[in-house]
Every structure is written in C-alpha cells, then in structure tokens.
Amino acid sequence: MSETGKKRLALKIILPILILAVGFFAFKSLIGMKKAPKRQQPPQLGALVDVIELQSKAHQVKVHATGTVVAEQEISIVPEVNGKVVWISPQLVGGGLFKQGETMLKIDASDYQLAVERAQADIARAEVALRTEQEKARVAMQEWNRIELPNKGVPGPLVTREIQLQQEQANLTAAKANLKQAELNLQRTIIKAPFDGRIRQEQVDLGQYLRAGSSIGTFSGTARAEIHVPLPLEELRWLSIPTSKNKIAGSLAIIRLSTNRQAQWQGKIVRSLGEIDTGSRMATIVIGIDDPYQLEKSADGPVLQNGQFVEIDIFGQHLEQIISIPREALRTGQQVWIVDTDNRLQQRPVKVLRREQQQLLLESGVDAGEKLILTTLSGAADGLLLRPVMREQAQ
C-alpha cells in the first residue's frame, strides 16, 4: 500500500474517534453548567384532634349516690294483757297487709268481761252506799234543827256526816275508775293495726298463751318509706336539707333500682341524721318517698323492699353561667388543652368547682367560646400544631 493510502486509512479511523471525544466533553460541559432543581418542603399539617367549643350556661347540680330503703314507721306488736290467742287474721303472716284499725288477733276475753261486770257491780254498790249516807246526813240535820238549845251554834261533822260522805264518794270514784280499767283491758284483748302497714315478721300461733309486754311480731308502715343515703361532707353544700329551724323544702330526688333502671320513684330530702360516721367520715341524709309499695296506685311492676339497695340522683342548687367539661378532658396537673387562634396547643391550668359523674364544673381557667381538646396526645407541648375537628356536643 502506498504512503498516501496509509494516511487516508489512518484518517478514517482517527477522525470518528476525535468527533466522539469532542462531543462527549461538550456534553459534560453543558451538564455541569445546568442548575439542580430546588427541593419542595412538604406542608405542615398538624396533629388531628377532636375539639368542642366551651359554653357558659345555667346548670343544676346533680348528686349521684346509693342508699338503703327503711320503713318510716316500724313497731313491735306487743300485747298489753295476758291471755290465750283465740283468733288470728289470715293476714298475720310475713308480708301480710293491714289497713289502720283492722283486727290482727284476739285474746280470750272471758276473764276481762267478768272484770267489767264486777266493776259495774262495785259501782252500783258504791252508789247505793253513797245515797244511804246522804240520807243519813239529811235525817241527822233534821234532828239537829228540831232541837232547841240556846247557843247551839252550827252542826259539826258528826251531825253532817261529812267524813262518811267523802268516804263513800271516794269509793264511788274508785269503782268508776276500776270499770274504766276493766273496759280498757277488755278492749286490749283485740289487737288492731295502728296504721296502714305490712307484717315484717310474726311469731304467734292459735292457742298460744301471750304475756303482756312480749313481742309477737314486727309491723312496718306502708304509706311512706325512707332511704338512708351516706354522702361525703362536701356534697352537703349543694343540697337543701330541712331542719327543725329552717323549715325549707328538701331537694328533690329520683330513686331507681340497680337491677331495673326503668322503675323509678320520686322523693325528697326530709332531714339529716345529724352525725358523721367516724370510719368513712360521711354524713347520712334521709329521703322520704310516698306510697313506696305502690299500694295506692295499684300499679304493676317492681316495688321497693325494706333493706333494698337503690341508686339515687338528688337535684341540688341551680348555678348560673358555669362552664362544664367532660371528665376525660382534665389532664395531669389539673390542666386542660386549648386550641389557640393559630391552631396550636396551649396547656391551661383550671380550678375545678365540682366533680360530677360524667363532667366537671370549672370555676376558672377557661372562657366560653374557646376550643377544648378531647383527644389524648403523646408528647403534647405548648405550641404543637393541630388540625382541630369540631365534635357535636350532647345537649
């Protein structure tokens, strides 16, 4: 191959390589001159929280408590005379009902009827003796008046028989008193219900000999019942409790069975027992209930039983313009969480006026219109960005 041919061949090989090299370096230079795009920061969304708007409104204090049903009236059935039982009412059993004046049982009255007759005879004898003595006194005065003696003066007690008359009058008075006692004892052979009530327990049988003063049963009134309710001392300030001095109307109450909350009774506070339990440091108030056994209404359904455990809601003072919050909204350290105008968390100390079953009544620390956070956040701190979602409040 000639020299010229060799040069041409070398040029064909080298020229493409040079072109590629120049293009590569030019491309790198252009890439190096181009600026990198700016990175976009993601928007800050904040923590999602449920909130409610605080409202200031009137509120009636409601005290929730439990108590025990007791009879307002309860007596022992005690005979006042001795004797054998000759008749017993079919209702004289546990749970039996009596109206006031109905006969419970009868004691053999034979001896007491005889005592009445003897007392009547004693009165008749005393009346005869008194009339006889009065006649003797009249005759003695006639004799005295017929005797004409100078300076005879006034008749003495031997003439007027004053002492004898007083004695016979006293005998007649005693005989009449004995008759009253005999008649009273005769009446006492029939034991009657002193008020409307039911037999709580009885221990008497037909033919049994009873002695005066021995208890034969327990009788409880049915017209009214009471509930003894122990309460912490701080709860008493919210309630109206009548005393012998103030005569105010007691706070109203709703009573329910723990086993059947649909059944309920209305009552009101009638008094306080006036003492504090040394163990629990609690005071006991008494709530009165009319017709607790629903005997007047003749209604079907459950009735209260003596000794029964019940739940009570007592309606106390009316408070004006008070802010209440759910119990779970109170945080550690007596604080609540508020959403400020920039949607950031603000920890706020509050003063609790009263704790109720489902809510807290606040005395200070927040204002109406502010947004209260209900959601629990881990690591919550002042200034934390939030996304509040308004929750509908129960009325």
| Structural domain contains residue 207 | no
Digits of tens for pLDDT over the chain (395 positions)? Answer: 555 555 565 556 666 666 666 666 655 665 556 555 556 666 667 889 999 999 999 999 999 999 999 999 999 999 999 999 999 999 999 999 999 999 999 999 999 999 999 999 999 999 999 999 888 888 877 777 777 666 666 666 666 688 888 899 999 999 999 999 999 999 999 999 999 999 999 999 999 999 999 999 999 999 999 999 999 999 999 999 998 888 889 999 999 998 877 788 999 999 999 889 888 999 999 999 998 888 876 666 778 888 999 999 999 999 999 999 999 999 999 999 999 999 999 999 999 999 988 899 999 999 999 999 999 998 889 999 999 999 877 65
- Do 312 and 324 lie in a common domain? no
Residue 316 DSSP code: E
| CATH number, domain containing residue 361 | 2.40.420.20
Closest CA to 327 of 358, 350, 352: 358
- Do 229 and 302 lie in a common domain? yes
Which secondary structure element, helix H or strand E, spans residue 256, and what is its range? strand 252-257
| CATH number, domain containing residue 240 | 2.40.30.170
Q: Quote the number of domains for the chain.
A: 4
Instruction: List, in sequence order, every beta strand (DSSP E) within 29-76.
Output: 47-53, 56-71, 74-76
* pTM of the shown model: 0.71
- Do 310 and 295 lie in a common domain? yes
- Do 228 and 311 lie in a common domain? yes
Structure tokens at 361: 């009544």
Q: Containing domain of residue 382, as a range?
A: 49-59+320-390
According to DSSP, the β-strands at 56-71 and 309-326 are antiparallel
Residue 239 DSSP code: S
| Structural domain contains residue 345 | yes
- Do 151 and 171 lie in a common domain? yes
- Do 236 and 314 lie in a common domain? yes
- Do 275 and 340 lie in a common domain? no
What is the distance between the alpha carbons of residues 237 and 230, in angstroms, rounded to a whole number? Answer: 14
- Do 253 and 240 lie in a common domain? yes
| Structural domain contains residue 236 | yes
- Do 363 and 386 lie in a common domain? yes
- Do 261 and 327 lie in a common domain? no
| Structural domain contains residue 3 | yes
Residue 208 DSSP code: P
